[in-house]
């Protein structure tokens, strides 16, 4: 009996290992680290991604504040996440790690600022 192997390129780190995932038995081969193995299983069961983008920022030297989801969210929520963040308007000062949106779309994941932005002098 030949198992159904799904070929994936691991995106956990820049090495980009070529993975083979047995979708039925949930066995990963080709990974070189534990995180790659977890990625292989997750990618065929419930793929997730970290979203990095910007929100509007007032009173700082630049009008945009870079943000990220502080964990991976289900891939099919990518554009819903963007739609929510497009409505957000923040105000300086802001510190790296400040929570911009709490519990995004009920995922338990927060959207946080990825840099410190002072008030415009």
Partner 1 sequence: MTYDLVVVGGGPAGLAAAYEAFNNGIESILIIERDMELGGILNQCIHNGFGLHTFKEELTGPEYAERFIDKITDTSIEVKLDTMVLDIKEKTIYAMNPIDGYMEIESKAIILAMGCRERTRGAIYVPGDRPAGVFTAGAAQRYINIEGYMVGKEVVILGSGDIGLIMARRMTLEGAKVKAVIELMPYSNGLNRNIVQCLEDYDIPLYLSHTVTQIIGKTRLEKIVVSQVDDNKKPIKGTEKTFTCDTLLLSVGLIPENELSKQAGLQIDTRTNGLVVNETMQTSNEGIFACGNVLHVHDLVDFVTQEAQTAGKYAASYIKDEYKKGTSVKVKNGKGITYTVPQNMNTISKESIRVFMRVSTPSYHQKIVVNCGGKEIASFKKKTLLPAEMQSIVLTKEHLAAIEGDITIYLEEGK
**Does 107 participate in binding partner 1 (rule CB under 8 A)?**
no
**Does 79 participate in binding partner 1 (rule CB under 8 A)?**
yes
Read off the DSSP letter of residue 14.
T
Q: Which of 6, 38, 62, 80 binds partner 1 (CB under 8 A)?
A: 62
Please say which residue, 20 or 116, places its beta carbon nearer to partner 1. 116
Distance CA 28, CA 95 (A): 40
CB of 37 to partner 1, least distance (A): 16
**Does 16 participate in binding partner 1 (rule CB under 8 A)?**
yes
Residue among 86, 89, 111 nearest 100 (CA): 111
Residue in this structure with the two tokens 């030297």, named with its chain if needed: 61
> Token digits for 108?
């338990």
**Does 58 participate in binding partner 1 (rule CB under 8 A)?**
no
């Amino acid at each position: 009996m030949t198992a159904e192997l799904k070929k994936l390129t691991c995106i956990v780190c820049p090495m980009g290992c070529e993975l083979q995932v047995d979708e039925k038995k949930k066995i990963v081969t080709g990974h070189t680290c534990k995180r790659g193995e977890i990625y292989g299983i997750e990618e065929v069961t419930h793929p997730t991604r970290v979203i990095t983008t910007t929100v509007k920022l007032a009173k700082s030297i630049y009008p945009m504040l870079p943000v990220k989801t502080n964990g991976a969210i289900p891939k099919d929520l990518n554009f819903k996440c963007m739609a929510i963040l497009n409505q957000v308007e923040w105000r300086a000062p802001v510190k790296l790690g400040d929570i911009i949106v709490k519990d995004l779309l009920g995922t338990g994941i927060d959207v946080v600022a990825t840099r410190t932005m002072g008030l415009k002098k």
